[in-house]
Structure 1
Amino acid sequence: MRLYLLARNPTDSVTDGFLPAARRLGLDVTVLTDQPGAHRRRAPEPETLGCDVRDFRAVIGRISAHRRPDAVFTNSDHLQTQAALAADYFGLPAKSWRAAHATKDKAEMRRRLAAAGADPVRAAELPPGADPAALDVPYPCVVKPREGVASEDVVLAADPAELVRRVAEIRARRPGEALVVEEFLEGELYTLETLGDGRVRHLLGGFHTELSPPPHFVEERMSYVPAHPAPVTAQVLGQLDALGVGFGACHTEFTVSAGRARVVEVNYRAIGDQCDLLLARLLGIPLFAHILRTHLGEPLPADLGAHTDGRARLSYPCARTAGTLTAAPGPADLVVDGVELAYRPLRAVGERHGLHRTNRDFLGVARGIGTDQRRVDRVVADFLAAQRWEITP
């Protein structure tokens, strides 16, 4: 059976999660990507073909001229609609392209939720060149790219003057892109991870996310939450239903304040930044294989057999300045006080980077798994405190 996997830049989710799972399932994998060289260097085994994966017509043509597909899949934020359209063209199991589009386009997501009466958020779309000072929005507000990812150019504005300034800064980096300005959602930030086959939907728990200080929203630490309160989960699932989300993996971010759950964004894919690798290990299930099986048309089991007694934490040491990384710890796998701890560098010594205020500033990731949250938190914090990163301007 042949799996076409659409991708842009290489990610840990694909290289360390989906490709090994596909091998274990005995699938022949063809990677379609607009960055074939980078993928061949990172994972030389699968067949890799160049393709303008942002264009669903190019994807369909490349597949049609190659070999018959049994599944078309992507874990990329940027490519969900293209993969859904291509899979549907070949008569294969797929996410609804309408749902994929509605979750990727943040303005459309707000319109769809408002039309359904599913906890509407005051928001306005800002086309290129439009004057942000003319918007009727509450303050503080959040401005973000309409189709952005990973908190890139997502920033808080306290008043109209700051909104005008922030929009100008983003437009200088993203000329011609539409933006969204919406009310700031108060409360703690959480995620809900789901996996469905269009018939059943499994809840995989979620994470409590700790962010950098405003005005930016960099995810610095995440603690696993086995289950959110039932009323909170029901509110989030109701909003996903309004968007038509229910097939494959989905990573939903939401705030909770006084018991009210409000969706920040819906990423119609598995959670990234190595949280998915941790989740598979923590739950003790073949998570990546389950996701691929749904796209092959196989039903999910009624019970995934997931362990629910584990606790986990991820911490991301971040660069605070631009420059060249001149000293950093290497990878580590340890067991400390009963806690499994893994550290992986995300930036190589000698690399020079700007300061992005996003997950592109991550220097590494420390993952801790155990049975007691306080112990897991302590072990991860102690490990990171003993390490040293140096950045030379």
Structure 2
Amino acid sequence: MLYLLALPPTDSVTEGYLPAAARLGLDVTLLTDAPEAHRRAYEGRGGDAWPRIDIVPCEVRDFREVIASITALDRRPEAVFTNSDHLQVQAALAADWFRLPGKSWRAALLTKNKAQMRRALAEAGLETVWSAELARPGEEEDVRPPFPCVVKPREGVASEDAELVEDRAELLRHCRDVRSRRPGLPLVVEEYLPGPLHTLETLGDGRVLHVLGSFHESGVTPPHFVMRRADLLPEPPRTHTEQVVARLDALGVGFGACHTEFVAQEDRIRVIEINYRSAGDQADLGLAEALGIPLFEHVLRTHLGRPLPADLGARGPGRLRLETVNAARGGTLKSAPGPTEWERDGVRLVYRPLWAVGEERPLRNSDRDHLGVVRATGTDTERIEHVVAAFLAGQRWEIA
């Protein structure tokens, strides 16, 4: 029995981890605080490609409730797993409670909490970034950061409420604005790290760490940091890989999937954030396809206590492009293309909407503004670019 912790449904779980659980012969108990959303997301799914799944309401942000729910269900867990940024510590503590393989809860906390991550890397002598934690309202009055600097939630995701500020007045304004909408939210302020933005995707079993690849993200323009395009590099520079892995080692990261964002400053890298999970927004699904590996099964096997193979069996020079369609304003989505999949000219293209037609949302200046994501895989970069451009040009998204 696989116990899977989740908040709202994501493509990584719906299209990746749940089908992988079925291929591994696992029944799934999904613990979530959004049971109806998951039931709607899984309507019409079944057959051999879908596991036997039981959706159980649970306050998954509280590790004590997770442990209590698993105990009360009286179904012996073989693994406790989550791909949610917000639930890594809870899943790690629950796995440890039931004496199952899992991530170190300390490593999960160090990567989730950006202030703790900065302290740990500085104490290890690996990287020093000017950073201050603003745990309570008013503390921003006393900090003297180098400008420009970045203000963001201490435990934020998807670049939500992250902003580059140029001076003290902008710093105070942004802190007031965020706290007016999200009272009590701890923030961090840190020096701005310019340079090309990259990721490193890794997979480990606690013994061996595999480097899966690196994305180059482009079109990310301050003062906000909305992801627009990412291209899988044929091979990340060795010096960058070695530096990222050294930082992961110092934080105790090496079990399951991890998605690390960093900027390259010539031969030096500087970490932006570490997400101790597989990459989202279709990147993990595209990575599995481009490399030709059963990525999601590999991740689940680590949580079942099975060692990874020495060679993951990547089939060769696959190329991958991710491109997002972003809302230019808030409002109600009146028309948009639905889910799309096709293959032509040696390119496989998949489009997944992230807003539903009829849904109303404010503009957040974050990755929450993605209307949908295109992923395209093949072996020819120019052909992929042409196919993606032609697809986007032929579609229409209308917000009223």
Q: State the TM bucket, normalised to the shorter chain.
A: over 0.9
Q: 1:357 aligns with which of 352, 355, 365?
A: 365
What aligned pairs does 1:1-393 form with structure 2 within 5 A after superposition?
Answer: 2-43=1-42, 46-66=53-73, 67-392=75-400
Q: What amino acid is the match of 1:323? A: G
Q: What amino acid is the match of 1:51? A: C
**Identity score, percent:** 62
Question: 1:344: how far off?
Answer: 2.0
> Structure 1 length normalisation: TM-score?
0.97
Contact 1:325/1:389 (<8 A) preserved: yes
Question: 1:298: how far off?
Answer: 0.2
1:37-63 residue CA offsets vs partner (Å, 9 max, x unmatched)? 111221255101111111111111111
1:128-187 residue CA offsets vs partner (Å, 9 max, x unmatched)? 213313212111100010111110001100111111111111111211011000001110
Q: Distance in 1 between matches of 2:175 and 2:235?
A: 37
Q: What amino acid is the match of 1:14? A: V
3-state SS of 1:234 partner: helix
Q: Distance in 2 between matches of 1:261 and 1:375?
A: 31
3-state SS of 2:60 partner: coil
Question: 1:343: how far off?
Answer: 1.7
Q: Distance in 2 between matches of 1:307 and 1:359?
A: 31
Q: RMSD across aligned C-alpha pairs, in angstroms?
A: 1.2
Q: What amino acid is the match of 1:107? A: A
> Structure 2 length normalisation: TM-score?
0.95
Question: 1:6: how far off?
Answer: 0.5
Question: 1:337: how far off?
Answer: 2.7
Question: 1:334: how far off?
Answer: 2.7
Contact 1:18/1:288 (<8 A) preserved: yes
Q: Distance in 2 between matches of 1:239 and 1:219?
A: 24
- 4+ residue stretches of structure 1 with deviation over 6 A? none
Contact 1:195/1:291 (<8 A) preserved: yes
Q: What amino acid is the match of 2:168? A: P
Contact 1:211/1:217 (<8 A) preserved: no
| Structure 1 stretch displaced more, 55-64 or 372-381 | 372-381
Q: Distance in 2 between matches of 1:331 and 1:38?
A: 18
1:246-296 residue CA offsets vs partner (Å, 9 max, x unmatched)? 000000000001221111000000001111111111111111010000000
Q: Distance in 2 between matches of 1:273 and 1:309?
A: 22
1:339-388 residue CA offsets vs partner (Å, 9 max, x unmatched)? 21122222222211111112221111111111122221222122212211
Q: Distance in 2 between matches of 1:180 and 1:12?
A: 29
3-state SS of 1:82 partner: helix
Q: Distance in 2 between matches of 1:130 and 1:146?
A: 16
Q: Distance in 2 between matches of 1:344 and 1:62?
A: 33
Question: 1:307: how far off?
Answer: 2.3
Q: Distance in 1 between matches of 2:30 and 2:297?
A: 17
Structure 2 unmatched runs, 5+: 44-51
3-state SS of 1:204 partner: strand
| Structure 1 stretch displaced more, 99-108 or 224-233 | 224-233
